[in-house]
Each structure stands twice: as structure tokens, then as C-alpha cells.
């Protein structure tokens, strides 16, 4: 079995982008702590801080689903190994939409990003599972 190098490079690149986005959300939370005087270990205070904190934690929770499936998906058949990084890139765009919507006063605006992100979670699971099943077959 071989892993296509361009797919591995795309997977690594998307992983770095996802991690950078997470660092960005964490940095925002830290800045808003200072701006609104929310002292650690408090996890609530000003509504703007609360929303940013939820974006950061929800992104971390979702990364625990997306990143393992993204890397396991490398078992998917070689001509299609680009599919998982592409789906993960859509997931990242969905997280940005989620963050933008959640930070708005009307937090229901986060729903489109959450729905697209959830669909990407499911697609990555299916790609990873299909790749693992295929790897076990002769």
C-alpha cells in the first residue's frame, strides 16, 4: 500500500491551517479576558467573551473528531486521497462561518457553519472508515 505524497502534504497543510485557526480563537479569548476583565479561572463574564470562549472550546471539541479522521483517511484509495483534505478545508471554512455567526449578537447565525461542519465530520468519518475497510481487504 502506498500513500500519495501530495495527499499527505495537503493533509499536513490543512492540519496546520486548522491548528492555526484554533490558536487564533484562543488568542481572541485571551484578549477578550483582558478587555472585559474576566479573570482566570472564570469562564464567563461579558457576553462577547462568553461567545468567544464557546467558539474556542467548540472548535477544540470538533478538532478531536476531524483531525483523527483526516489522517486515517489516508488509507482511502490513492486516486481519491485528495478528498479528505478537501473536506477538511471545507470544515475549516465552516468553522470560520460558525465563529463569525456566533460572535454576532444573534447567536443563531452560527447554525449554517455548524451544519456544514457536521456534514464534513460525517463525510470524513465515511472516508476514513471506507479506507480502513479497504486496507483490510485483500
Per the CB < 8 A criterion, the answer to whether 4 and 78 are in contact is yes
Confidence (pLDDT) at 109: 95
Mean pLDDT, the chain, whole residue set = 93
Residue 9 lies in domain: 5-136
**pTM, entire model:** 0.92
- Domain tally for the chain? 1
Closest by CA position to 18, among listed 76, 77, 84: 84
Higher pLDDT residue, 138 or 24?
Answer: 24
Per the CB < 8 A criterion, the answer to whether 18 and 67 are in contact is yes
DSSP annotation of 80 reads G
CB atoms within 10 A of CB 84: 27
Cβ-proximal residues to 70 (8 Å cutoff; 6+ apart), any chain: 11, 14, 15, 84, 85, 88, 124, 128
Residue 97 CA from chain centroid, whole number: 12
Q: Is 45 helix (H, G, I), strand (E, B) or coil?
A: coil
- Once rounded to an integer, what is the mean pLDDT over residues 33-40? 96
Structure confidence by residue, pLDDT tens digits, 71-108: 999 888 777 888 999 999 999 999 999 999 999 988 89
Give percent of the chain with pLDDT exceeding 90.
Answer: 83
Per the CB < 8 A criterion, the answer to whether 65 and 121 are in contact is yes
Confidence (pLDDT) at 46: 96
Copy the grid coordinates of residue 137: 481487504
Q: How far apart are the first and last CA of the chain?
A: 11
CATH of the domain at 36: 1.20.120.550
Cell 492555526 belongs to: 20
Amino acid at each position: 500500500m502506498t500513500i500519495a505524497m501530495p495527499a499527505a502534504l495537503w493533509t499536513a497543510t490543512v492540519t496546520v491551517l486548522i491548528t492555526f485557526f484554533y490558536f487564533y480563537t484562543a488568542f481572541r479569548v485571551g484578549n477578550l479576558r483582558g478587555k472585559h476583565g474576566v479573570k482566570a479561572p472564570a469562564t464567563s463574564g461579558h457576553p462577547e467573551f462568553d461567545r468567544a470562549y464557546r467558539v474556542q472550546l467548540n472548535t477544540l471539541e470538533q478538532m478531536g473528531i476531524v483531525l483523527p479522521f483526516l489522517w486515517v483517511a489516508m488509507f482511502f484509495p490513492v486516486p481519491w486521497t485528495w478528498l479528505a483534505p478537501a473536506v477538511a478545508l471545507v470544515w475549516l471554512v465552516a468553522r470560520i462561518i460558525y465563529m463569525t455567526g456566533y460572535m454576532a449578537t444573534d447567536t443563531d447565525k452560527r447554525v449554517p457553519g455548524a451544519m456544514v461542519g457536521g456534514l464534513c465530520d460525517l463525510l470524513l468519518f465515511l472516508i476514513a472508515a471506507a479506507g480502513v475497510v479497504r486496507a483490510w481487504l485483500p
